[in-house]
Amino acid sequence: EAGVTQFPSHSVIEKGQTVTLRCDPISGHDNLYWYRRVMGKEIKFLLHFVKESKQDESGMPNNRFLAERTGGTYSTLKVQPAELEDSGVYFCASSGGAEQYFGPGTRLTVT
Amino acid sequence: AQRVTQPEKLLSVFKGAPVELKCNYSYSGSPELFWYVQYSRQRLQLLLRHISRESIKGFTADLNKGETSFHLKKPFAQEEDSAMYYCALSGLSGSARQLTFGSGTQLTVLP
């Protein structure tokens, strides 16, 4: 069974540009989470989808971040415009119950 | 506010020695506690849940509600245990399932 996949694995962009990260959850998992780890800090929750609905987006840092989950399948996280402090690793996780399965992460570098 | 504290960023032990990774938490309610592990060049994966009370790869963790701790222990460390370990908690209800992570402990088991 394929696990959670994320694309791209690494993205380098300039400040002010736009980047879109994608997450494909495990098939059948209704819950999808985004987290990120910025340099030197702990992994922090961004938001939680249940199917296509945003259950909790209390962790989204500001309105430059926009997440969608069309049709309750894959999800995208767009950062527009990117700032230097957005650099870090963005993780996606999915679950059908209590256990969350993580993707490999996308390393975002904003220069 | 919920919080997870892992006081040790780095921990080194010799092969065969006991190891204990500390985790303390604060949460207003009854949380579920987890240990996640990330081996080199691998994704974050679940090691233990307090509810299941299992021993995985020789590791155990007991929830101590009085001390609000969930320390991870192994009596005889192996070199393959070298990894980054994260303690995490979540609420028990569907809307509170996002994980709050500690800052992680990098365990190195020396030969």
In the prediction, which pLDDT does B96 show? 64
Q: Which residues does chain B have with pLDDT short of 70? A: 92-96
Contact across the interface for A105 and B43, Cβ inside 8 Å = yes
Burial of A76 (C-beta count, 10 Å sphere; 0-12/13-18/19+): middle
In the prediction, which pLDDT does B9 show? 94
Contact across the interface for A98 and B97, Cβ inside 8 Å = yes
State both tokens at B12: 């080194």
pLDDT digits (tens, 9 = 90+) for B15-29: 999 999 999 999 888
pLDDT digits (tens, 9 = 90+) for A33-44: 999 999 878 999
State both tokens at A24: 């494909």
In the prediction, which pLDDT does A8 show? 97
Touching check for B99 and chain A: CB below 8 Å? yes
In the prediction, which pLDDT does B97 show? 85
Touching check for B94 and chain A: CB below 8 Å? yes
**For residue A22, pLDDT beyond 80:** yes
